[in-house]
């Protein structure tokens, strides 16, 4: 008979005192139990691995232990009586656990309801723990509603869910709700240290830092990884390289190499590197998470004086070099791209292609010019000088468009960008349009039109310090400003050409003005 207990079983908290974090929940539940305020239905909600089912079991144990005691206003079961031991072993006759992910139907709920008709056998309360309750069918929820509305005094329902928004309001409104937050970095670290101390395992500082930060606030995930890493080398010492290997975390040097290739706009080598990562990676999700986290670290390194992180202590020179080559704005764009890709990953039908397109997107994004209201454009390199030249020649037009946008005149902004053609002749700005913005056919009526008057008024406010005039022209065939910018700037960009080579029918559909 195999009596081995894995770490998650061996170190599962047996009372609220042993539970890491969740201080408000522990005090709130304990106080209500001590005062005899026992609710008949509870919902514990939170992300995976934060302790929802563990709290439900502690609740069942605490309420049914005849020897419960209060310590620092926290109610604790004795953990030695028959009830405590039976609940801990999941074989108590009055405590039931159901997985709603596998038992979703109305018949399963009817079985629970029929069970509530009988008095407890050995405990004070019958406790029904329903995990992933949001997976129940509509009919199952309807059947459950009646018993929740009028439960026997000895029945308690405890629902655990990662998606409370999927539970009908009629159920939620009748439950006492507690949201379990993720463990903090410090709490995760304390949890790991408690276990390695009891297991007599030595853990390297950097290994502890990596494991604590990459467990994403999930105590269960931290414990699972800790056991896997401890078994990996079958020694009593855990090194940082063991953690990165087992967790599938890409090395910092690889992340630095990839960001350098993106900064250099080296699409070919960047895509080849991503292919290599894809082939050998245990988890693309972890890779993208590591990459976005590393970009965030570079931003913090640039923005926070004397900032340092032990995870990257051996790479300060490389991080400094990257921070000098990539601006804050472009680092923020990269962070947004790879952070957002984490949400989009599961929807992708081709993960490798998804990764490659994100690399191309990142290179294309940081190749775009940075338009500032306070500083003139400067040449970034010879390859993009035509961008600055075009924008410089049309500086008044671009700034007027931005001014209209800043005034939140979005209808006019859209018309200027999509329905009008601009040309500058001396001190006159000609605006041509093919829109039928006026009822009369005369030129005078056109200029008196309210929409055009609004544009003229906005231009006066924008152009208070110069003698520049505005003139409207009716013209059937125009090249609108958006099309001109796309044609003059983006179609000439090497990264767009790379996209065009891979996808012949690709086109740029719109331009979004950067928020300042």
Query: Which pLDDT value is given to residue 445?
Result: 45
Fold (CATH) for 252-367: Zinc Finger, Delta Prime; domain 3 (1.20.272)
- Please tell me the CATH code under which domain 185-247 is placed: 1.10.8.60
Query: Which pLDDT value is given to residue 106?
Result: 87
Q: Which residues pair with 178 in a beta bridge?
A: 44
Query: Which pLDDT value is given to residue 259?
Result: 94
Work out the angle at residue 414's Cα, subtended by the Cα atoms of residues 413 and 417, and round it to the nearest 5 degrees: 85
Q: Is the distance from CB of 403 to CB of 462 less than 8 angstroms?
A: yes
Query: Which pLDDT value is given to residue 502?
Result: 57
Quick one: tokens of 423? 């040309």
Query: Which pLDDT value is given to residue 77?
Result: 94
Segment-wise mean pLDDT, segments of 10 residues, the chain, 516 residues: 79 92 91 91 93 94 92 90 92 92 84 91 94 92 91 94 93 94 92 94 90 89 92 85 83 91 92 90 84 90 81 84 89 90 86 91 80 44 47 68 82 81 80 63 48 80 74 81 71 62 60 54
Output the CA torsion 381→384→388→389 (10° steps). 110
Q: Is the distance from CB of 288 to CB of 255 less than 8 angstroms?
A: no
Sign of CA dihedral 4, 9, 11, 16: negative
Q: Which CATH class is domain 12-179?
A: alpha beta
Q: Which option is the CATH number for 371-516: 3.30.300.180, 3.30.70.20, 3.40.50.1100, 3.40.50.150? A: 3.30.300.180
Query: Which pLDDT value is given to residue 188?
Result: 94
* Residues in the chain, total: 516
Q: Is the distance from CB of 31 to CB of 45 less than 8 angstroms?
A: no
Parallel, antiparallel, or unpaired for β 428-433 and 420-425? antiparallel
Domain layout of the chain by residue ranges:
12-179, 185-247, 252-367, 371-516
Query: Which pLDDT value is given to residue 222?
Result: 93
Which residues are within 8 A (CB) of 23 and not within 5 positions of it... i.e. 6 or more apart? Answer: none
User: Rounded distance, CA 419 to CA 421, Å?
Assistant: 7
Closest CA relative to residue 54, chosen from 93, 94, 22:
22
Which residues are within 8 A (CB) of 205 and not within 5 positions of it... i.e. 6 or more apart? Answer: 310
Closest CA relative to residue 158, chosen from 285, 289, 274, 39:
39
User: Rounded distance, CA 265 to CA 260, Å?
Assistant: 9
Query: Which pLDDT value is given to residue 232?
Result: 86
Give the count of beta carbons closer than 10 Å to the beta carbon of residue 113: 14
Parallel, antiparallel, or unpaired for β 74-76 and 69-71? antiparallel
Quick one: tokens of 219? 């105590």
Q: CA 96 from chain center: how many Å?
A: 34
Query: Which pLDDT value is given to residue 509?
Result: 57
Query: Which pLDDT value is given to residue 430?
Result: 83
Side-by-side strand order, sheet with 420-425: 420-425, 428-433, 469-474
Query: Which pLDDT value is given to residue 465?
Result: 64
């Amino acid at each position: 008979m195999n009596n081995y207990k894995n770490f998650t079983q061996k170190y599962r908290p047996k009372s609220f005192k042993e539970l890491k974090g969740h201080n408000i929940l522990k005090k709130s539940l304990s106080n209500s139990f001590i005062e005899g305020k026992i609710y008949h239905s509870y919902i514990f909600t939170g992300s995976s691995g934060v302790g929802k089912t563990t709290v439900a079991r502690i609740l069942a144990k605490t309420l049914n232990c005849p020897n419960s005691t209060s310590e620092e206003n926290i109610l604790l079961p004795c953990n030695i009586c028959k009830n405590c031991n039976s609940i801990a072993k999941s074989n108590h006759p009055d405590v039931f656990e159901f997985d709603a992910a596998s038992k979703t139907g109305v018949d399963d709920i009817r079985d629970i309801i029929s069970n509530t008709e009988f008095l407890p056998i050995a405990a004070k309360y019958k406790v029904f723990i329903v995990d992933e309750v949001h997976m129940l069918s509509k009919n199952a929820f309807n059947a459950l509603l009646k018993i929740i509305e009028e439960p026997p005094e000895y029945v308690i329902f405890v629902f655990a869910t990662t998606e409370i928004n999927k539970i009908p309001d009629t159920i939620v409104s009748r439950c006492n709700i507690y949201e379990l937050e993720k463990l903090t970095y410090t709490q995760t670290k304390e949890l790991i240290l408690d276990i390695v101390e009891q297991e007599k395992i030595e853990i390297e500082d950097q290994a502890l830092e990596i494991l604590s930060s990459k467990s994403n606030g999930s105590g269960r995930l931290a414990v699972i990884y800790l056991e896997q890493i401890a078994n990996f080398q079958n020694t009593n010492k855990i090194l940082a390289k063991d953690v990165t290997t087992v967790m599938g975390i890409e090395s910092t040097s690889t992340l630095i190499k990839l960001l350098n290739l993106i900064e250099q706009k080296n699409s070919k080598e960047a895509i080849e590197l991503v292919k290599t990562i894809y082939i050998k990676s245990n988890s693309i999700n972890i890779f993208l998470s590591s990459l976005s986290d590393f970009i965030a670290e570079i931003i913090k390194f640039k923005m926070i004086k004397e900032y340092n992180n032990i995870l990257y202590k051996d790479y300060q020179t490389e991080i400094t070099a990257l921070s000098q080559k990539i601006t804050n704005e472009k680092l923020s764009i990269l962070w947004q791209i790879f952070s957002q890709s984490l949400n989009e990953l599961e929807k992708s039908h081709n993960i490798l292609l998804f990764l490659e397109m994100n690399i191309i997107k990142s290179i294309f994004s940081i190749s775009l010019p940075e338009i500032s209201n306070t500083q003139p454009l400067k040449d970034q390199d010879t390859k993009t000088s035509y961008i600055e030249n075009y924008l410089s020649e049309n500086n008044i037009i671009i700034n007027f468009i931005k001014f209209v946008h800043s005034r939140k005149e979005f209808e006019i902004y859209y018309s200027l960008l999509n329905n009008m053609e601009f040309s500058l002749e001396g001190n006159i700005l000609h605006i041509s349009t093919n829109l039928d913005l006026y009822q009369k056919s005369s030129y005078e009526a056109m200029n008196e039109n309210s929409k055009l008057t609004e544009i003229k008024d906005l231009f006066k406010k924008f152009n208070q310090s110069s003698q520049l005039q505005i003139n409207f022209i009716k013209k059937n065939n125009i090249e609108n400003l958006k099309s001109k910018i796309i044609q003059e700037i983006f179609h000439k960009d090497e990264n767009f050409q790379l996209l065009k080579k891979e996808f012949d029918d690709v086109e740029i559909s719109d331009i979004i003005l950067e928020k300042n």
